[in-house]
Copies of this chain bind each other. A is one copy, B any other.
Amino acid sequence: MIRNTLPRYEILSEEAVATLDRGWRRIVSEIGIEFVLPAAVEEFRRAGQAVDGSVVRLDPEFVLEQVAKAPREFDVQARNPARSVHIGGDHMVFTAVYGCPFVRVGSERRDATMADFENLVRLAQAFPQLDSPGGTICEPNDRPLDSRHLDMVFALQTLSDKPYMGSVTSGPNAADTIRMTEIVFGGREAIERTPAVIALINVNSPLRYDDRMLSAMLEYVRAGQPVVITPFLLMGAMSPVSIPATLVQQLAEALAGVALAQLVRPGTPVILGSFLSNTDMQSGSPSFGTPESAIGLLCTGQLARRLGLPWRSGGGFTSSQAVDAQAAYEAVMTMLPTFLAGTNYVMHAAGWLESGLVSCYEKFVVDIEVLRMLQAEFAPLEVDEASLAFDAHLEVGHGGHFLGAAHTLERFRDCFYRPLLSSTENFERWQRNGGRDAAERASEIWRRTLAEYEQPPLDAAIREELEEYVTRRRAELGD
């Protein structure tokens, strides 16, 4: 977690903000949002909103009253207190890639397995630039569908001592996650006091929440655990081919979800989510790292701050199929705006490849290098008399060299960013050392990092209780 105290880069005029504000109000009140779960609809009916089947038409002022109940900032505890995070304000929390069915290792692309899941969690634990492994760091396809959420949560809890994200594949799976979190953190009361697991709730955009996501969401909200309510918007598919239209849709969808969370449990922590990119209108495929997604990201930050909500966006997005130049320029094209916009909760910050279908080991390392660079870049620059190093100028004079100056010798170890992956070797030396490109060097780095990984200690009784829970539930689920 870093604090980003540099200025926010805001590109919307007051007039544009007012236009967007009218836009989401019109959508929620005239078209409404569909909630495909009677319990959710019932919450809105009881609060006096207009219900028509599963569609709820919302009074915008009512929505804002609910939104105002959400905390502007909150803490999430990790089982190692030193790893606990604060979400909101100028804090930025970084989590790894989420939800990929495939992995890429070097030139091999294949179905992700539980072993990959565990390895990627270990990498997320090892790199200090990540505050959390996230949740579904890849899909463990070799485990039964019914019970793999138990395997994933167990791995997140035991291989890492950083905060983690819970299962959202159903209400019962969410309940399992919460129960396992209670085991680790000392009971329900302890996690209600300070939340300990975050859940990603995707909207089934446009303008619909499905029953599966709503059931999971209600479990987390009732337990006071934070939900990241995220419209899933690829312009041209789930939203119109217009950034302003997509921004208002995003607000309409997300704020309706935030209102539901506050109705169910006033004051429950929420994160305004944004996952906004566009369709490549030539190929019909999703397109990531685009100018449109960067613009959407900057605008979303500005709008979220006006609403007083912590917000999620950003990541090392790319559509590239390989760890090549495209993968890298697209990743920075979203990750740098993520810092400019001061995103509070950054998902997909390491490992994302191929439009999110692939968790890639080498891309993981590339993204860590990008994160390290940006975390250095967005630190405040200290400008005072001493920083002007006037004596060094006196010492070196005209046409001299600063390498041997006293000022340099006192500071050379930590005066500049030191790369993890990047090479500045001259060509001859680089060739002599094998002429390996960044992807090849990244491969060596993740292998070394895994080899040096140390599992964080966990109380034996807690581990045993978790194992018993997983074993029992797996049997109950028939796996």
Which A residues form the contact surface with B (CB < 8 A)? 6-7, 9-13, 15-16, 19-20, 23, 26-27, 31-34, 55, 109, 204, 206-208, 235-245, 248-249, 278-287, 289-292, 294-295, 299, 319-333, 336, 340, 354-355, 357, 366, 369-370, 373-374, 376-377, 381-385, 387-390, 392-394, 396-403, 405, 407-408, 411-413, 415-419, 421-427, 430-431, 435, 437-439, 442
Contact = CB atoms under 8 A, between A and B. Distances in A.
A425 B26 CA distance: 37
A442 to B, nearest CB: 8
A282 B321 contact: no
A12 B381 contact: yes
A29 to B, nearest CB: 12
10 contacts: A208-B399, A236-B408, A240-B408, A282-B418, A283-B424, A290-B417, A291-B376, A326-B421, A329-B332, A332-B332
B328 A329 contact: yes
A165 B398 CA distance: 28
A244 B55 contact: no
Contacts of A278: 416
Contact of A328 (B109, B328, B357): B328
Identical subunits present: 2
Contact of A403 (B236, B393, B421): B236
A382 to B, nearest CB: 8
A16 B383 contact: yes
A206 B324 contact: no
Contact of A207 (B330, B397, B407): B397
A357 B427 contact: yes
A284 B322 CA distance: 32
A343 to B, nearest CB: 16
A72 to B, nearest CB: 25
B321 A416 contact: no
A398 B329 contact: no
Contacts of A370: 329
Contacts of A109: 427
Contacts of A279: 403, 416
Given A11-B381, A34-B398, A415-B281, A427 B354 contact: yes
B325 A401 contact: no
Contacts of A442: 325
A419 B355 CA distance: 15
B437 A393 contact: no
Contacts of A27: 390, 393
A340 B383 CA distance: 21
B237 A403 contact: yes
A380 to B, nearest CB: 8
A325 B427 CA distance: 17
Contact of A400 (B206, B324, B437): B206
A187 to B, nearest CB: 39
A281 B329 contact: no
